[in-house]
Structures are given as structure tokens and as C-alpha cells.
Structure 1
Amino acid sequence: MIRVFDNPGITWTLTVVLLLSGSYHFLQATRSHQLTDRINKSLHALMNVLMAAMVWNLAPSTLLAQIAVLAGATLWFVIQAVARPEFKRLCAGNQSRLKCVYHSLTMAGAALMLVMMGQMATAGQEIVPAGGMSMAHAHHTMAAADQVTAAATFDRLPGLAILLTVLFGAAAAIFMILLLRSRATQTTLGGAAAPRLSVRAEHGLEAVGAAAMAVMFATMS
């Protein structure tokens, strides 16, 4: 088992946060009465578990499968976001559509994080040519070309990581503002029109999840 991040404090904090968030989403999925909600919550739980495994570089042999699952989840939320209004069990209304758009971005961000980690691992590996002695020069040439390509791709990763850090950092700030506003509304109105606990918990989870993604991308910049 290999830690992706050098700082053990960051590693364990992210692991605990992601696993707790995933457990909450899984619990909500089991309590949901609608199939769409169960699928959405289950996908969020799975994403958190995969990100926790990502922190420790677990199951690297299943990297492509993990990316495929997260890409499928991204497509699922995009479909909900653009669904016709009569499909009320999907994302109906502007607020729900915005949520589905954001959730598609989080799934895509998690998939992209896996891709970036794979590219970083590839760029950091020494490429050893294989084959017979008669083909040695050709293999060395191909290995050198692959290494240059990997290095060029690796050079672009810090800029992309910074952009995604800013994006998810801003998302975390927005969800924190929504959470604080909901608490202020409850206090001002004396609980008469207080938002439901699940809504506040959702804002809190979204803020924590976005912050975790921002931290993970920041370590790649």
C-alpha cells in the first residue's frame, strides 16, 4: 500500500472525510424510496470510496475500470440535467438541474484525477525497451518517443490541477455560504420556516467533498 500524498496528516484526514461522506451517502441510498435517488446516492458513495482508495493508491490494476465507472456516472448526471421536464423523477427545475450539472462535474473531476495520477505514474517510470538485440535501436527510439510524450503530458498537469483546485475551492466556498445562510434563516425565523436537516447536511457534505477535491488537486499542482 503506497500513500499518494507525502503528508500523513493530509492522507489520513482525506481518508476519514471521504469514507465518512461515502458512508452517509450509502445510508441515504438505503433509506431513499425513489430509484433515481438511490442510484444518485449510491454513485456518490462509490465516488467517495474510489477517491479514498486513490489517496492510498489501492488497486492500481483496476484504474481503467474505475475511470470507466466514473465516466458512466458523469454521463448519468448529464442525462438527468438535460432531461425533459416531464421526467419528474430526474432533475426537474432549474435548481435541481444545476445540482445535476455540478454532480456531473464532480464525477468527471474524480475520473480526471485518476487519469492524471496514471499519467504522473507513467511519466515517473523508467521505460525499458524490450525485444531482441537486432531490434534494440528501434525499441530504444520508440521508448524515447514515449518518454518525451509522457513528459510533455506531465508538464501540462500542474496548470490543469491549479484550475481544478480553484474550481472546487470556489464550489466549497459557495456551499459553505449556503450552509451558513440556511442556519441564519433558521435562527432569524425562529425555526418557523427552517430548512430540513437533510438540506443542511447536503450543503455540508457538498462543501466538504468539494474541499477534499480541491486539496487533492492542489497536491498535484
Structure 2
Amino acid sequence: MVRRRSWLGAAMVVPAFTVAGCAQTITGQASPAAPAANEAPARPSSSYPSPDGATATIATMTVTLPAGTQYAVESRDPGYEGCLQSASFACEGKILDLREAAGAGLVTLPSPTRRFGWYPGTDVPSCLGPTSDPGVASQATGSTVLEHGFAPVGPKKAEYARFAETCQDPAQNNQVRMWWLPQSKILIVEHSATSALDAAFDGMLASATFS
């Protein structure tokens, strides 16, 4: 089992992200408590996702969440902060406010052309998927840019890329998509991309508005 990791790396202080991310979930939804240290992360229950049409605000951006998902403001376990969670996928992707962390030099700035360019941590990323939650996912061994350019996020243009990710466990090999807004310092990542998840993320990002 791979050691649980946060996006800031083991040597960094996790609250730098959680304090910087002025995010909000829908009213009445609370992030589940973190499991005990000797327990595996609990999967979301069928009652966990938000109702359709729910929104989340991350930094200056507000989006309509994909049907059946919830945005996790606070981590229920290291590695879950900023996750889009559903009944079947504990971390479909992440939306992170990197303004404070980037300003303090605590992260590697995302890049559509850099190996692991979608990952702002300083450690090795994990291969997240429906059956490989943070904490049980194998480490990534490679990341190849398949396509890159610019893509819309609401009225803005983001630096965009799709990566082929290889993993210590070949069964977890997948594709990852990223959108990076360098002025707003907001990073969006889609883990283990499929055509259905691509459509869900594209729809969410088309709904984005900025304050």
C-alpha cells in the first residue's frame, strides 16, 4: 500500500492549501470525518453526492457541479482536499485555489508541457481512479503529454493538456486532463479520464463564472 500523500508533499504544511482555498460547498453538506490512522479511507456512500444543480465556489470561480458529485472543501483524509467526490469515485478530480501556496513558493506551478505538469506537489503523484483512492493508489512512474493548448473555462482561456499516466500497477494506467488559470491561480484536474467524465468536466467548466 502506498503511503497517503497530500498535494503539498510530506514536508509541507497542508493548511497552506486549505486556508488558501476559499471554497464553499452546498448548504447542509459536510465533509465526512477523517478515518482513524489504522483504517482505510471510506468510500462515499450513496447519500453523499450533492443534488443536481449544486454549485461550488473556489477562489474567484463558481461552477455547477457534475450530477451526483460534491466538492470536498476540507480533506476527510490526506489527499482528498479539493476533490470532486461521487458515490463510485472518491476523487474524480480536483479544483484547487493555489493563490497563497503559489505566492509563497510552496508548489510547483502547473504546466501543460511539463512531465506531471498537472501535479503541483513536490513528491511523486499517485494514480487515482475509481478503484484506487488516495492512500491505496500506486505511484505514478511516467506522464506523457498527449495534447496541449488552450481550452475555455467559462469566459476565460485556460492552459490545457491531456497526459498519459503510467503507474507501478499497470492496471491503474490512465489519462489525466488539466486546466490551469495562471492569473486566477486555479487548477482543475480530471483523474482517470473517460469519455463520460470528459463530458461531465467540460460541462462543469462551461458553467464557470468569475467574481
Q: TM-score, normalised by structure 2?
A: 0.31
Larger RCO: Structure 1 or Structure 2 (Cα < 8 Å, ≥ 6 residues apart)?
2
Normalized per residue, the structure richer in strand is: 2
Q: TM-score, normalised by structure 1?
A: 0.30
Normalized per residue, the structure richer in helix is: 1
